[in-house]
Structure 1
Amino acid sequence: MNLVERVQSILLKPKATWPVIDAEPADPASLYRNYVMILALIPAVASFIGLSLIGVGAFGISFRVPIISGLAHMVVGYVLSLVMVFVLALIIDAMAPTFEGTRSQIGALKLSAYASTAAFVGGVFSLLPSLSIIGALAALYGIYLLYTGLPVLMRCPPDKAVPYTAVVVVCAIVGGCIIGWVLALLTPSPMRLGAASPAAAVAALQQLVAANA
């Protein structure tokens, strides 16, 4: 599987790509090694560069997260993103019978991993914290990816895809809030005090949505 081609295909033509993904042999190790672990680096590294090297600025005031804190923020955020993909897969799998779908652990993991593509790629906008809102909006496209993938990978009826998607998204938001809270603990107090500024609010939104839409 070519990584770049797969990213392009799942973002640009998801309806045609999901059946291909469904037919591919895969296991958790290969999915993580060849896809999730690579793409999850994008928001983690971009956020580090944006917060610690470029800095957040608003109303004539700028602030950079200290390098050590920025590195800790990057590593913990990266690990939690990987965990979130797996947790969402468990939720997707567990909820399948509720929406007349068929349980499949590997199918659920494929769905969680590939539906996260938009959030991971959109994380590149964290290079400039003031543009993070664009990454957050891009991450919302993951909802559509999830919606189009559920009937294919989890075999749910098309009319059940909307409520199924809604439940998964709510769980993702809760998980994103938890991740955001953990990352906030690693952020120096000047950033927390600046949370009322537009730039800081945008950065928080990006962390929440990128945790998996």
Structure 2
Amino acid sequence: MQRERSIGDVIPMVMDIVARARNLLLSPGAEWRNIAGEATSVERIYRDYVLYLAAIGPIAGFIGTSLIGIAGARIGLASGLLLAVLRYGITLAMLHVMAIVIDRLAPHFGGRSDFLSAFKLAAYSMTAAWLANIFTIIPALALLAIVGLYSVYLLFIGAPVLMRLPAMKAPIYTIAVVLIGLLLNYLVGSMLAALLVQPGFPG
């Protein structure tokens, strides 16, 4: 009986995730206003949304690099699995860091400091990027993941709504957040690359 209730809870949750992602992609302005008015928490956003979409990249990447391979070359299963787990954990942690960045920068651009709103903006603006990672499941199509740049537009549209930024300052605020995010991702990527070539790393 308990299992039936658990399974029954999964379907509405999946439908909610699909509806949210669809609305963000197709009508972001209206959806950001809905998100701004929602009573929720950081933990709930992680539990009901982030944990699932953030897993797309690590899972697709593992399949693409360890099972399918690039030009016949594959990363060992153990290495691929470990990298996928590390990538997933880092993604979840980086989201929290980016929420802090979004929150701390907002007052400097005429906005407000509100961590929950900043976390909403960080989490939901990543929707396009996380979904686009599905293309990495086939290495030959990995370049198509560039459509995930739509997340920059989502951030731009959502910033004035969630952080109460003046519309005229939203572009430079978005650029600042993206540049910091790129720098952090570069640093993390460099550390992962260095880890991969360590002699003791599993093959």
TM-score between the two structures when normalised by the length of structure 2 = 0.88
Inter-partner Cα distance in structure 1 for 2:61 and 2:187: 18
Task: Select the residue among 11, 16, 31 that pairs with 2:30.
Answer: 16
Query: Does the alignment pair 1:69 with 2:70?
Result: no
In the other structure, the counterpart of 1:124 is 134
RMSD over aligned Cα, in angstroms? 1.2
Query: Does the alignment pair 1:107 with 2:117?
Result: yes
Pair member with larger Rg: 2
Give the CA deviation at 1:133: 1.3
Inter-partner Cα distance in structure 2 for 1:122 and 1:10: 14
Residues 65, 187 of structure 1: 8 Å contact kept:
no
5 Å matches for 1:18-57? 18-57=32-71
Inter-partner Cα distance in structure 2 for 1:178 and 1:38: 25
In the other structure, the counterpart of 1:89 is 99
In the other structure, the counterpart of 1:195 is none
Equivalent position SS for 1:56: coil
C-alpha distance 178-91 of structure 1, shift in aligned 2 (>3 A)? same
In the other structure, the counterpart of 1:7 is 21
Give the CA deviation at 1:69: 0.1
Give the CA deviation at 1:127: 0.4
CA deviation vs aligned residue, 1:124-148 (integer Å, no higher than 9, x gap): 011011211111x112111100000
Task: Select the residue among 79, 87, 90 that pairs with 2:89.
Answer: 79
Give the CA deviation at 1:12: 1.1
Inter-partner Cα distance in structure 2 for 1:131 and 1:107: 34
TM-score between the two structures when normalised by the length of structure 1 = 0.84
Amino-acid identity (%): 40
Instruction: Give, as a single letter, the amino acid of the residue that structure 2 aligns with 1:102.
Output: R
Task: Select the residue among 156, 175, 186 that pairs with 1:147.
Answer: 156
CA deviation vs aligned residue, 1:92-151 (integer Å, no higher than 9, x gap): 00011110001110000000000000111001011011211111x112111100000000
Residues 43, 123 of structure 1: 8 Å contact kept:
yes
Inter-partner Cα distance in structure 1 for 2:164 and 2:115: 13
Instruction: Give, as a single letter, the amino acid of the residue that structure 1 aligns with 2:118.
Output: A
Inter-partner Cα distance in structure 1 for 2:192 and 2:64: 15
Equivalent position SS for 2:165: coil
Aligned length: 184
Residues 65, 188 of structure 1: 8 Å contact kept:
no
Inter-partner Cα distance in structure 2 for 1:91 and 1:99: 13
Task: Select the residue among 166, 171, 178 that pairs with 1:169.
Answer: 178
Give the CA deviation at 1:39: 0.4
Q: Which moved more, 1:84-93 or 1:176-185?
A: 176-185
Higher relative contact order (CA 8 A, sep 6+): 1
* Structure 2, unaligned runs of 5 or more: 1-12, 199-203
Inter-partner Cα distance in structure 2 for 1:119 and 1:35: 14
CA deviation vs aligned residue, 1:22-63 (integer Å, no higher than 9, x gap): 000111110101111110110110000000000011xxxx21
Instruction: Give, as a single letter, the amino acid of the residue that structure 1 aligns with 2:193.
Output: A
